């Protein structure tokens, strides 16, 4: 059982949020528990890959607060080696990140007040959540904007980083994305937006795929006999996905996304949606 040392309440809505450090192998994960008194369900939010974290963070927090306001307890966290979590990013692999999902899911399942557990992943987080769900870690799964393999996430991140980088370099120093892909293929580390990608992370990404029952045209709900909801997000979902203009889109109204997905959780985990706050 967790030792919650501090209570931080939102003065406006009296929803308790508990930031803390969760110990895992050789590091501590930064976690925030959005606690609900009698939760109708619990959700472990598995966020996007590191470079999207800083643009999507506010919206991701808003989503956690929306769920908590509707009686669903939420645990969100930073990947090992990312954000407020400790650990060296360059030493991280997809295997270490999925271990973290397993540890946190297990902790949530062991909490005293029982409630069904849903894993919700965004982008790379979707792949991690899907793998853990496939192994039987949760009662339901929700995926937003999750590609079929992790290599697509890394390629996409590198391509989005390279555009502005080209502007900061002189003509002869500019390199296309294929240059960096080749370096990674050759076993060299590459620095992208302040993160040093290891060749091992790249190598693992090539085979880290969505479990086969979740790949269309398969129906995962039939295979797993547990609820699975997969949502493709378009550019209108920026800054949750790439394409936002910093400074102008952080305050977007996401009720079109939050309300139906919160409703899906509520109805598919067979619990009444008790709107604590609007």
Residues of the shown chain interacting with another protein in the complex, contacts defined by CB under 8 A: 1-6, 8-12, 17-23, 28, 31-33, 53-55, 57-58, 61, 82-84, 86, 89, 107, 163-171, 191, 193-196, 243, 245-251
Long-range contacts of 124-127 (CB under 8 A, 24+ apart): 124/48, 124/49, 124/150, 124/153, 125/45, 125/46, 125/47, 125/48, 125/49, 126/46, 126/210, 127/94, 127/153, 127/208, 127/209, 127/210
Nearest approach, Cβ of 17 to another protein (angstroms)?
A: 7
Nearest approach, Cβ of 174 to another protein (angstroms)?
A: 10
Nearer to another protein, 62 or 223 (CB): 62
Beta strands in the chain (DSSP E): 8-9, 16-24, 27-35, 41-46, 72-77, 117-122, 140-144, 190-192, 195-197, 228-231
Nearer to another protein, 83 or 177 (CB): 83
Nearest approach, Cβ of 9 to another protein (angstroms)?
A: 8
Nearer to another protein, 197 or 208 (CB): 197
Nearer to another protein, 136 or 194 (CB): 194
Nearest approach, Cβ of 22 to another protein (angstroms)?
A: 5
End-to-end Cα spacing for the chain = 31
């Amino acid at each position: 059982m967790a030792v919650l040392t501090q209570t931080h309440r939102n003065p406006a809505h009296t929803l308790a949020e508990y930031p803390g450090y969760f110990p895992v192998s050789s590091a501590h994960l930064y976690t925030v528990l959005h606690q609900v008194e009698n939760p109708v369900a619990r959700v472990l939010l598995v966020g996007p890959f590191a470079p999207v974290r800083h643009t999507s963070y506010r919206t991701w927090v808003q989503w956690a607060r929306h769920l908590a306001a509707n009686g669903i307890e939420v645990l969100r966290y930073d990947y090992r080696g990312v954000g407020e979590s400790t650990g060296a990013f360059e030493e991280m692999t997809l295997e270490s990140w999925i271990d973290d999902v397993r540890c946190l899911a297990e902790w949530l399942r062991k909490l005293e007040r029982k409630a069904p557990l849903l894993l919700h992943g965004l982008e790379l987080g979707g792949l991690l959540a899907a793998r853990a769900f496939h192994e039987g870690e949760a009662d339901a799964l929700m995926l937003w904007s999750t590609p079929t393999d992790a290599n697509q996430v890394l390629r996409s991140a590198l391509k989005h980083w390279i555009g502005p980088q080209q502007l900061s370099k002189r003509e002869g120093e500019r390199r296309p994305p294929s240059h960096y892909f080749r370096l990674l293929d050759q076993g060299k580390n590459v620095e992208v937006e302040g993160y040093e990608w290891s060749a091992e992370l790249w190598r693992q990404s090539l085979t880290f795929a969505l479990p086969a029952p979740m790949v269309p045209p398969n129906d995962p709900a039939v295979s797993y006999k547990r609820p699975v909801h997969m949502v493709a997000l378009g550019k209108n979902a920026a800054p949750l996905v790439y394409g936002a203009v910093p400074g102008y889109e952080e305050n977007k109204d996401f009720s079109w996304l939050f309300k139906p997905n919160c409703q899906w959780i509520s109805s598919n985990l067979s619990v009444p949606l008790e709107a604590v706050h609007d």
